[in-house]
Structure 1
Amino acid sequence: MSRDLPLDINIKEPQWDQSTFVGRAKHFFTVTDPRNVLLSSAALEDARRIIVNYRAGIVSPGLTEDELWRAKYIYDSAFHPDTGEKMFLIGRMSAQVPMNMTITGCMLTFYRTTPAVVFWQWVNQSFNAIVNYTNRSGDAPITVNQLGAAYVSATTGAVVTALGLKSLTKHLPAIIGRFVPFAAVAAANCINIPFMRQRELKYGIPVTDEDGKRLGESAKAAQQAIAQVVVSRIGMAVPAMAIPPVIMNALEKSAFLKRFPVFNAPIQVGLVGFCLVFATPLCCALFPQKSSMKVSSLEPELQALIQENSPHTHTVYFNKGL
């Protein structure tokens, strides 16, 4: 008979060492695995039950350590780390590759006409708004007005940037025009993410000590978290929006695509997908998910509160979001 699984496995933390880039990359390759999108509600609920029970000291009979870690990553891929709520399907990180490869591929394919630019930038920012809301840090609600302001601001910024750059590249080589969508996406990320998470900037996000004890809320921590997410998101877009245009610019001169232009979009989407499979987890891994900050860098009032309630704490930790 196999003995019961011990209860001292720390499933609050990832399986791999998060102080190293390699460890974070292994973690995010698992979190962003597109196959998790295909899991049924029953499979997600089963994983949730295993994790909730294990945290309560209950081990399912015959459960192995590998099965426990598999359940943890299924749980993490579908349930918000702060609220515990099941996340909207297309907002999950496991949906990033299939959704982004389709949208980005189409943005790179249909960039020549103004209606196409407006439509695909709108689709992209609608998707980004869902992702940013779904993966926000903290457990505080966000109002409909805040959501609407973030959505309108980011969409407007992306469209204006795309159309402005498009007009500037009319007399430049065609290859330059192919990079307009990337510039628009980068600009929109700088608008969309802070706006979508503006409540965090105003009221702060939860910060804890090393053992997970909540010490308060910090807007300074929110600023660091959001800046890291913006850098990661722009980094994700670089390979997917910079490499395929160069390849497609060469392929479109070939006899095959001249004869069968219908294959333009599928090839472009496939190239983007290949880039995103690697870029998404690697750029998520640029910064630790459980980010940290010195107490001395926090707001004076929060510093005083921590000194009073937890005088031996010199570093606080927080979920930076994705």
Structure 2
Amino acid sequence: MEQTDVAVKPERLQVDIDKPRWDQSTFVGRLKHFATITDMRKLFASEKKLDKAKELVNLYRSGACPPGTTEEQLWQAKQLYDSAFHPDTGDKMNLFGRMTFQVPGGMALTGLLLHFYRTPVEVALSQWGNQSFNALVNYTNRNAASEISTKQMLAAYLSATGAALGVALGLNAYSKKAPPVVARWVPFAAVAAANAVNIPLTRQSELIHGVTVTDADGNELGLSKKCAERGISQVLLSRVLMAAPGMVFLPMMMESLNKRAWFRRATWLHLPFQTFGVGVFLVAMVPIACSLFPQRASMDVKQLENELQDEIRKRFGKNVDKVYFNKGL
């Protein structure tokens, strides 16, 4: 009896790319995830490569994944997609606001902050540059479900810059009577104070109107201001801790090295040394700081606003005991 060939349809990949590749309930899982999407090497991906990654992700989501696509290829595309496209809108993010730019951008600006801290003019220019960068990063990585007007953005930017300058200039004057290393720590205090102003103001519409919360399956349940407060406070803490090692330990190293005559004479070396040092710290601290809290944050229903609790109970009874939301970066 003659045999006939039967076409075998390729088995579809069983991968849930709408969830990170690694378990996000653990710090190690989050660290692996953020190490991939904050990898500054992804900055050099061409527009064509980014668009192809987005196309593959969208094709897979629609059930039309190209035959022969491997699981590894799919994950590489998804990680490249996550590094350049906003998780809420799917739009390509500004290059300088992406988390992949945090290491090169942060090391350059922090290096300037640590080097130019002596005179009011140096402080003003370096803090202005740093806050301009922070405002761009905060806006780029906001929870896009809550839009913010140009007027609100300008107010956040000016307020944060003013806070940074006020703290930096005030502490700079005070530090003249303190040990030299204290003056070198002033930029960190200014950056922390500015973040405390910049992040909440940049994302004030979330605090005013709330962020979209969902159930475990992604079904929208309403808006919550309390979830917005939790998400923003977690981002604020992460940003401060991201900057802390480089801005605290490098000044101590500089004061120690300044006790050596050869280093004091080599003034041309001070700025590149601090800039490179900050870069070393940031390579580790950017993914670590991003991993402190889950990107898809959660809150118990009983901790929500009373009105939202009542609405959820009315619709779902006790079937929903926890809500989820994007905390932003």
State the TM-score bracket (shorter-chain normalisation).
over 0.9
What does residue 83 of structure 1 align with?
A: 89
Any conservation in 2 of the 1:5–1:59 contact (CA below 8 Å)? no
**Counterpart-to-counterpart distance in 1, 2:212 and 2:76:** 27
Tell me the TM-score normalized by structure 2: 0.95
Larger radius of gyration: 2
- One-letter identity of the residue aligned with 1:22: V
Quote how far apart the aligned CAs of 1:107 are.
Answer: 0.3
Q: Which moved more, 1:253-262 or 1:153-162?
A: 253-262
User: In structure 1, which of residues 302, 311, 315 is the aligned counterpart of residue 322 of structure 2?
Assistant: 315
Any conservation in 2 of the 1:225–1:320 contact (CA below 8 Å)? yes
What does residue 71 of structure 2 align with?
A: 65
Quote how far apart the aligned CAs of 1:2 are.
Answer: 11
Residue 270 of structure 1 pairs with residue 272 of structure 2: no
Identity among equivalent positions (%) equals 50
Any conservation in 2 of the 1:252–1:258 contact (CA below 8 Å)? yes
Q: Number of residues paired by the alignment?
A: 322
Tell me the TM-score normalized by structure 1: 0.97
Residue 194 of structure 1 pairs with residue 200 of structure 2: yes
Aligned ranges 1:159-178 → 2 under 5 Å: 159-178=165-184
Residue 133 of structure 1 pairs with residue 139 of structure 2: yes
Aligned ranges 1:87-98 → 2 under 5 Å: 87-98=93-104
Aligned ranges 1:100-139 → 2 under 5 Å: 100-139=106-145
Any conservation in 1 of the 2:13–2:71 contact (CA below 8 Å)? no
**Counterpart-to-counterpart distance in 2, 1:215 and 1:317:** 10
- One-letter identity of the residue aligned with 2:196: C
Unaligned runs of 5+ in 2: 1-6
What does residue 257 of structure 2 align with?
A: 251
- One-letter identity of the residue aligned with 2:322: T
**Counterpart-to-counterpart distance in 2, 1:308 and 1:224:** 25
Quote how far apart the aligned CAs of 1:41 are.
Answer: 0.5
**Counterpart-to-counterpart distance in 2, 1:2 and 1:10:** 24
- One-letter identity of the residue aligned with 1:289: Q
Any conservation in 2 of the 1:244–1:268 contact (CA below 8 Å)? yes
What does residue 40 of structure 1 align with?
A: 46
User: In structure 2, which of residues 232, 237, 243 is the aligned counterpart of residue 226 of structure 1?
Assistant: 232
- One-letter identity of the residue aligned with 1:152: L
Detail structure 1 runs of 4+ shifted over 3 Å in the superposition.
1-5
**Counterpart-to-counterpart distance in 2, 1:2 and 1:90:** 47
Quote how far apart the aligned CAs of 1:173 are.
Answer: 1.4
The verdict on how the C-alpha distance between 1:173 and 1:60 changes in structure 2, with shifts beyond 3 A counting, is same
Unaligned runs of 5+ in 1: none
CA deviations 1:78-106 (Å, max 9, x no partner) are 11101111111111000001100000011
